[in-house]
Amino acid sequence: MKKKAFSILSTLALAFGAIPAKAQKTSPLTLRQAEQIALKKHPSIFAAQDDALASNQVAREVRSAYFPTVEGDITGSVADRGTRIGAGYLTDSSLFNRFGQGISVGQLVTDFGRTKNLVATAKLQAHAAQEDAQSTRYSVLLGVNQAFFEVLRAQALMKVAERTLSERQVVLNQVSALVKNNLKSGLDLSFAQVNAAQAKLFEIQAQNNLEISRADLARAIGLVKIQPYTLVEAPMPSRPPATPGPLVNEAMRRRPEILSLSLRDQSAYKFERAEKDLSLPSVTAEGVAGAIPLITQLTAPRLIPNHYEAAAVNIKIPVFNGHLFAARREAALLQARAADEELQNMKERIARDVRVAWADAVTSYQQIGVANKFLHQAKLSMALAQGRYKLGLSSIVALSQAQLNETQAAIQDVNAKYDFENQNAMLEYQTGTLQ
């Protein structure tokens, strides 16, 4: 009975943190390792790669027009002796019982550049799809960076919360002892209890944010289960450049969105040229050959050869089709012009995004030094407030305010550091250098 009671008490103590749980084994995880895992596991990357591969197959489909087509035919027919076609789609004017087999060969000779332009269109679209896949890759990497830094932020804030709770619990214990000895009033004890309760709420919220950030990191990496990783701090990035101009130029050269739209723009003009070529003639060559077994000739109304061969060249010249080709050509030209505007719009948007990201990164970098000074001064004020309170030279209100200032300064210091980490990752993403 005593062992059972002890087991229950131990379980409750473990649940409420009185007894530390056995530490779960964790493996270190650097930012680079997290990125590599995401590149191997994230489903968005595989989906984008499959889309790019599908676009390559479309180019193969269009290019197939260059090659001959070969078909095999097997035909059998039964008819009354001496009958003729009265209606329908049978091509023989004289019907008879027969069974034959043969092949048909067709080859495009020339369509005066239309197929060439269609193949170029499909190839450019395939290259654009590859740039879209690269854009997806960059987006995944940005998500990994942001989630990684958010976990580090949450861990740092958790440490601040634990330290705050510990410090305020010490103050609460001291004030409680002073109140018992009638050296302080109950009001001081109430203030100390409120401060300790606030610190506990802060710790609970910090723990919740830590669990959420870990879940976000697992999703960003492409994992279903949250792995027990110990994140390794990355070195602090260097200060952003003095002006955003070089970064904008870099983005114009490297951003896959610009490269993709540029390729699609070229593709649109190739397609417009292909649509213009619809008005030109097309030349095709065709050939057929086959055999009709002798047994079928016995039932034929007259003797026919037991084999056949034929070849032909067909020239198709468009004359008039209700302005269909003209409408298609004009629509393709308008779509090409729209692609021009979309490309220009993307360039302007990226230039703006780079400048905004640069400004945010510069501001975040400047806030790091200010936050460090703020924290240093807050710690000095806290130490002074504690000394004055112990000597009875100040009230609990001044001590509470000093505690609050120190906690806020510690939070600002953590946020300033990881805000800059996040903004620097965003700046690298906007310039196309996040790889």
For the segment 346-365, the average pLDDT, to the nearest whole number, is 97
**CA 262 – CA 224 distance, rounded (Å):** 37
Give the pLDDT score at 256. Answer: 96
Q: What is the mean pLDDT of residues 188-201?
A: 93
Q: What's the chain's length in residues?
A: 435
Half-sphere exposure of 427 (CA within 13 A, CB side): 27
pLDDT given for residue 15 in this prediction: 35
CB 106 within 8 A of CB 283: no
Q: How far apart are CA 204 and CA 127, in angstroms?
A: 50
Confidence at residue 22, expressed as pLDDT on a 0 to 100 scale? 47
pLDDT of 88 above 90: no
Identify the weakest region by mean pLDDT among 72-81, 167-176, 185-194.
72-81
CA distance 317 to 279: 8
126, two tokens: 């395939």
The answer to whether the CB of 270 falls within 8 A of the CB of 120 is yes
C-alpha 432/C-alpha 5 separation (Å) is 62
Spatial contact of 283 and 314, defined as CB atoms under 8 Å apart:
yes
Residue 21 vs residues 14, 124, 341: alpha-carbon distances, Å:
6, 59, 61
pTM: 0.84
Token representation of residue 302 = 């007259």
The answer to whether 120 and 268 have CB atoms below 8 angstroms apart is no
**58 pLDDT more than 90:** yes
Tell me the longest C-alpha to C-alpha distance in the chain. Answer: 133
Q: Over range 291-318, report the average pLDDT.
A: 73
Q: Which residues pair with 101 in a beta bridge?
A: 74, 291
pLDDT at 78: 74
CA pair distance 337, 256, nearest whole angstrom: 21
pLDDT in tens, 157-172: 999 999 999 999 999 9
The CA distance from 171 to 177, in Å, is: 10
DSSP 67: S
Residue 93 has pLDDT above 60, yes or no: no
At what angle are helices 43-63 and 31-41 packed, to 10 degrees?
50
Among 74-88, 245-259, 394-408, name the one with the lowest average pLDDT: 74-88
pLDDT of 16 over the 90 cut: no
